[in-house]
Structure 1
Amino acid sequence: MLKRDWDRHTCAKRGHITYAPDEPDLRARLHTATAVGTAWRCLRCGDFALGEPHGSGPAEEAPLVPRGKALRDLFILRFLAVERLLRGLLIVVVAWGVWKFSNSRDAVRRIFDENLTVFKPVTDHFHFDLEHSPIVDTVRKTFEYKHSTLVYVAVALVVYALVEIVEAFGLWWGHRWAEYLTVVATAAFLPLEVYELTEHVSALKIGTLLLNIAAVLWIMLSKRLFGLRGGRAAFEAERHSASLLEVESAAGALPQPV
């Protein structure tokens, strides 16, 4: 099975990123002349790309382009970002529904009771006690909640949704603060998810719990959060060690054989 080349795959979709460093030796290793024009090495995939460089200046000011493992990690973070964004938008819809319901409980109760009788002949035929089913009991309990309680619930849901949406945008751009926020916020809700499983087991709940546990562990370990595996210093050193300019600079610093 062929191993996926994330660097070249990304460059094929988004284009190359080239840079002309001011340092003569490093500049010479990243540049070449061809029969059809000048070409510069891409900072992501390492291939030579025709055309003028996208930027120039001191090597230390070159953009730190994710490549290799860092690029794969960014892909996973963006997958989590999309999941957080969709969840946040769904929670906003639920919050809106709770708020609307809080302002029209009596009308909704009448509609519910009137339509419940429509299904009664069918449920009676199958000897199902519709009046005392868990779902119906749960819906009826919500009718007893105070208006202020439902408003508080709607506000709490909006706050939760905002946290999810902020996480999504932070993770998409690979911000470290978003990784911390994701770990703390996700871990805080794990006990609640476990409790919900004790009340009712479903494949969706189990899958969500496992995904959140995996996300917390992966982010903490791979991003070296909370001082794990050397902390931020080791994380930054790993990022820079994968940079093409860092690799070329280190190669140029090696003593030449006599």
Structure 2
Amino acid sequence: MRRDWDRHTCARRGHITYAPDETDLRTRLHADTALGTAWRCLRCGDFALGEPHGSGPADEAPLVPRGKALRDLFILRFLAVERLLRGLLIVVAAWAVWKFSNSQDAVHRIFDENLTVFKPVTDHFHYDLDHSPIVDTIRKTFDYKHSTLIYVAAALVVYALVEIVEAFGLWWGQRWAEYLTVVATAAFLPLEVYELTEHVSVLKICTLLLNIAAVLWIMLSKRLFGLRGGVVAFEAERHSASLLEVETSAGALPQAA
């Protein structure tokens, strides 16, 4: 059975209704029932009892993700959670490098001790923390001098901030975040390939494939860098899926079978 993302989302978050000023369109979206007034939801298309959540000109109505756009948003939010978790892990790593940068031996010893705290969680998700590219990179810095460790900690903080900014931007479906994700992820793909030449693991292979798939999917589905018509085609696709656009173009509600 095919999942109805529109109705599933409305069941969790509630309907979104709008009363346009245009008389014909307003009439098609409104119904009087024995239980009271009802307005058609801009997401799932069902009529919902109660007053509309907003009103005004049709071109000022909220552009509610529905159909394919809603499924795409779900995938972006999955990527956002992954980016956020990765960013937080990198913050912890940066803190460990900075905190104990005065003594390479202490850094090595205490980092390994603190790393074991996260192992029950990472083991639960089948994440090989000992051979993580991030952890391996940090361990290579243990023989560096103090100033080098400070630079490494600063670089990790910057990397973590990029990941966290990506996460919040992707969660809210911001186009700039999609560009940032593609550029940042693609920039680290050579490093991930190099890591595979050093030590091959199922996790590293899966991570590389996931990142490649994410880059390709975002570029093509969001029409970045002018692909598939670019931003003009992307915006046209978004508006073509809008319930108000459909109603305005059709001129009438679809007839029941």
Deviation at 1:99, TM superposition (A): 1.1
Could you report, residue by residue, the CA deviation over 1:56-84 in whole angstroms, capped at 9, with x for unpaired residues? 00000000000000000000000000000
Deviation at 1:141, TM superposition (A): 6.5
Could you report, residue by residue, the CA deviation over 1:13-50 in whole angstroms, capped at 9, with x for unpaired residues? 00000000000000000000000100000000000000
Q: Which residue of 1 aligns with 2:231?
A: 232
- Cα distance, 1:142–1:32 mapped onto 2, change above 3 Å: closer
Which residue identity is paired with 1:15? G
- Cα distance, 1:111–1:193 mapped onto 2, change above 3 Å: closer
- Cα distance, 1:145–1:38 mapped onto 2, change above 3 Å: same
For residues 140-159 of structure 1, what are the structure 2 equivalents within 5 Å?
142-159=141-158
- Cα distance, 1:197–1:108 mapped onto 2, change above 3 Å: closer
- Cα distance, 1:242–1:107 mapped onto 2, change above 3 Å: closer
Report the Cα distance in structure 2 between the residues aligned to 1:31 and 1:242, rounded to whole angstroms: 20
Name the SS for the 1:10 alignment partner: helix
TM-score (norm 2): 0.85
Could you report, residue by residue, the CA deviation over 1:180-214 in whole angstroms, capped at 9, with x for unpaired residues? 00000000000000000011001111111011000
Could you report, residue by residue, the CA deviation over 1:132-152 in whole angstroms, capped at 9, with x for unpaired residues? xxxxxx999644310001110
For the 8 Å contact 2:42–2:243, the answer to whether it is kept is: yes
Cα RMSD, aligned residues only: 1.9
Deviation at 1:100, TM superposition (A): 1.9
Runs of 5+ unmatched residues, structure 1: 113-137, 254-258
Q: Are positions 1:163 and 2:162 aligned together?
A: yes
Report the Cα distance in structure 1 between the residues aligned to 2:66 and 2:174, rounded to whole angstroms: 16
- Cα distance, 1:79–1:143 mapped onto 2, change above 3 Å: closer
Name the SS for the 1:207 alignment partner: helix
Deviation at 1:53, TM superposition (A): 0.2
Deviation at 1:109, TM superposition (A): 6.5
TM-score (norm 1): 0.84
Could you report, residue by residue, the CA deviation over 1:93-150 in whole angstroms, capped at 9, with x for unpaired residues? 00111112312334457889xxxxxxxxxxxxxxxxxxxxxxxxx9996443100011
Number of residue-to-residue matches in the alignment: 227
Q: Which residue of 1 aligns with 2:127?
A: none
Q: Which residue of 1 aligns with 2:85?
A: 86
Name the SS for the 1:102 alignment partner: coil
Q: Which residue of 1 aligns with 2:215?
A: 216
Could you report, residue by residue, the CA deviation over 1:145-193 in whole angstroms, capped at 9, with x for unpaired residues? 1000111000000000000000000000000000000000000000000
- Cα distance, 1:7–1:51 mapped onto 2, change above 3 Å: same
Which residue identity is paired with 1:227? G
Report the Cα distance in structure 2 between the residues aligned to 1:64 and 1:43, rounded to whole angstroms: 8
Report the Cα distance in structure 1 between the residues aligned to 2:250 and 2:139, rounded to whole angstroms: 72
Which residue identity is paired with 1:63? P
Report the Cα distance in structure 2 between the residues aligned to 1:56 and 1:141, rounded to whole angstroms: 60
- Cα distance, 1:40–1:151 mapped onto 2, change above 3 Å: same
User: Which has the higher mean CA deviation after the structures are superposed, 96-105 or 80-89?
Assistant: 96-105
Report the Cα distance in structure 2 between the residues aligned to 1:109 and 1:19, rounded to whole angstroms: 60
For residues 98-113 of structure 1, what are the structure 2 equivalents within 5 Å?
98-107=97-106
Q: Which residue of 1 aligns with 2:121?
A: none
Which residue identity is paired with 2:53? H
Name the SS for the 2:100 alignment partner: helix
For the 8 Å contact 2:100–2:106, the answer to whether it is kept is: no
Report the Cα distance in structure 1 between the residues aligned to 2:85 and 2:155, rounded to whole angstroms: 18
Q: Which residue of 2 aligns with 1:245?
A: 244
Report the Cα distance in structure 2 between the residues aligned to 1:139 and 1:175, rounded to whole angstroms: 32
User: Which has the higher mean CA deviation after the structures are superposed, 61-70 or 91-100?
Assistant: 91-100
Report the Cα distance in structure 1 between the residues aligned to 2:206 and 2:91, rounded to whole angstroms: 22
Q: Are positions 1:51 and 2:78 aligned together?
A: no
Percent identity over paired residues: 89
- Cα distance, 1:141–1:204 mapped onto 2, change above 3 Å: closer
